[in-house]
Structure 1
Amino acid sequence: MTNHIALYEPLMPANTGNIARTCAGTNTKLHLIRPLGFSTDDAHMKRAGLDYWDKVDITYHDDLDDFLNSIPDDKYLYLITKFSNKVYSDQDFTDTSADHYFLFGKETTGLPEDFMRQNPEKCLRIPMSDNIRALNLSNSVALVIYEAVRQQKFAGLELSHHYQHDKLD
């Protein structure tokens, strides 16, 4: 089982860099769906990901259909949007027999409305007040992926870390 984060037409290199770092820290695959609003060699994106780029498994897709066609079974495809009544933390992500795909929209307009209307059963929401249009994309990704790995008992992740010279019992 692998978790996947997919970004639909991301616009801001710093968000994508932060998300890449989160993917490296959670052993999550990253999918970038074109067109991108920046060059992948953008200095802001590289700086946000720091020195973790070699730890991120990234796949590029020409468009949304290309991404969707790459998924063997969309049963575990989740569309993260504010246009849902289902809360992300109420969803069960514990099935370890299949990959889980979390699709996030671009920072300004989210996912295509017609696509979400065709797939309402796949839509999940992060609760927030109506004081803002949306949470920051990289924060949203972190919330959702950490809920998924929490439910999956943090499989493959370090649950504790020790100083090199002073191991605590």
Structure 2
Amino acid sequence: MAKLNIVLYEPEIPANTGNIGRTCYATGTSLHLIEPLGFSISDKALKRAGMDYWKDLDVHTYVNWEDFCAKNPDAKIYYATTKGRHVYSDANYESDCFIMFGKESAGIPEEILKANPDRCVRIPMIGETRSLNLSNSVAIVLYEALRQNGFDHMKLEGQLHRLSWDDE
């Protein structure tokens, strides 16, 4: 079973993290938060965006980047960044990989990116667009990784409430 991981490096906006938490819950993805955070985990905006799913989310926190690395020494990490050399859809996401996103104001530190150039991926944008919203970026890249893993363990078909798809 695919068990993907989203890593947020020093996230600053609680609503973004709450929305990302909800996306992680809906996909069976673990969420990893690297401190310092720009908010409290108990923040109302975080819980409002994550709705009632936050309590059931598989979330891990780390005091800093070094703590994350020490606790996940074998992690295969992809770094989502506007500075990436590769398009996110060209990467081959393993079923247990980590996909890291940087803080809203500054992204992932360049020393981390420089040490991992082949795993830096970007979402294409036109012109001088600075970036997409963090929660949108997570959803785009995460769903590509899920697609590549066959949407393992996910519900692939919906149902109508009062009618059947076969009714005329």
TM-score (norm 1): 0.91
Identity among equivalent pairs (%): 47
2:5/2:99 contact within 8 Å kept = yes
> In structure 1, how many angstroms separate the alpha carbons of the residues matched to 2:164 and 2:61?
41
> In structure 2, how many angstroms separate the alpha carbons of the residues matched to 1:131 and 1:121?
23
State the AA in 2 paired with 1:35.
P
Q: What is aligned with 1:79?
A: 79
- Residue 8 of structure 1 deviates from its aligned partner by 0.4
Q: What is aligned with 1:92?
A: 92
Identify unmatched segments of 5+ residues in structure 2.
none
Greater mean alpha carbon deviation, residues 126-135 or residues 38-47: 126-135
Q: What is aligned with 1:28?
A: 29
Which one of the candidate residues 147, 151, 159 is aligned to 2:148?
151
> In structure 2, how many angstroms separate the alpha carbons of the residues matched to 1:66 and 1:144?
25
Secondary structure in 2 matching 1:110: coil
Query: What is the count of residue pairs matched by the alignment?
Result: 165
- Residue 130 of structure 1 deviates from its aligned partner by 2.9
Q: 1:1-169 residue pairs with structure 2 within 5 A?
A: 1-74=2-75, 76-93=76-93, 95-96=94-95, 99-163=96-160, 166=163, 168=165
- Residue 165 of structure 1 deviates from its aligned partner by 5.8
> In structure 2, how many angstroms separate the alpha carbons of the residues matched to 1:81 and 1:116?
8
State the AA in 2 paired with 1:73.
D
- Residue 80 of structure 1 deviates from its aligned partner by 0.7
- Measured against aligned partners, the alpha-carbon deviations of 1:50-81 in whole angstroms (never above 9, x if no partner) come to 1111331000000011112222423x210111
Secondary structure in 2 matching 1:52: helix
2:85/2:117 contact within 8 Å kept = no
Identify unmatched segments of 5+ residues in structure 1.
none
- Residue 131 of structure 1 deviates from its aligned partner by 3.3
- Measured against aligned partners, the alpha-carbon deviations of 1:86-127 in whole angstroms (never above 9, x if no partner) come to 11101112x44xx11001000000011111111112211111
Greater mean alpha carbon deviation, residues 57-66 or residues 121-130: 121-130
- Measured against aligned partners, the alpha-carbon deviations of 1:4-23 in whole angstroms (never above 9, x if no partner) come to 00000000000000000000
